[in-house]
Amino acid sequence: MSPATLALLIPIIAIAGGILLKAYRTHIAHKQELMQHEIEIKGKASQQKVANLEEQVAQLTQRVVTLEALVTDSRYQLQKDIDAL
């Protein structure tokens, strides 16, 4: 390789390397931004799921309280004893 060709290739390779590095950094930054948005979306979905589950737990707790009140009611126990006879 002649010195003139080498002198021409070195700056071309340096410039191309700089451009490729900048493109790679931009790609990585964009990828991180997309991942951050995905995490935010999943977080919001998780919060919604937690809210739904908390509501279900509250409803089920109320149902258990109602059923316990029915089962411990003396009239219920009396009816159960009568049915057993």
pTM, two decimal places: 0.52
Q: Quick one: pLDDT at residue 10?
A: 93
Q: How far apart are CA 60 and CA 9, in angstroms?
A: 75
Q: How far apart are CA 19 and CA 16, in angstroms?
A: 5
Number of domains in the chain: 1
pLDDT, one tens digit per residue, over 21-80 is 999 999 999 999 999 999 998 888 888 899 999 999 999 999 999 888 877 877 767 777
Kind plus residue range of the DSSP H or E element containing 66: helix 3-72
Q: Which domain holds residue 35?
A: 3-84
Span 16-22, mean pLDDT? 97
Q: Quick one: pLDDT at residue 13?
A: 95
* Residue 78 to residues 5, 34, 64, 66, 81, Cα–Cα distance (Å): 106, 65, 21, 18, 5
Q: Quick one: pLDDT at residue 15?
A: 96
Confidence check: pLDDT of 11 > 90: yes
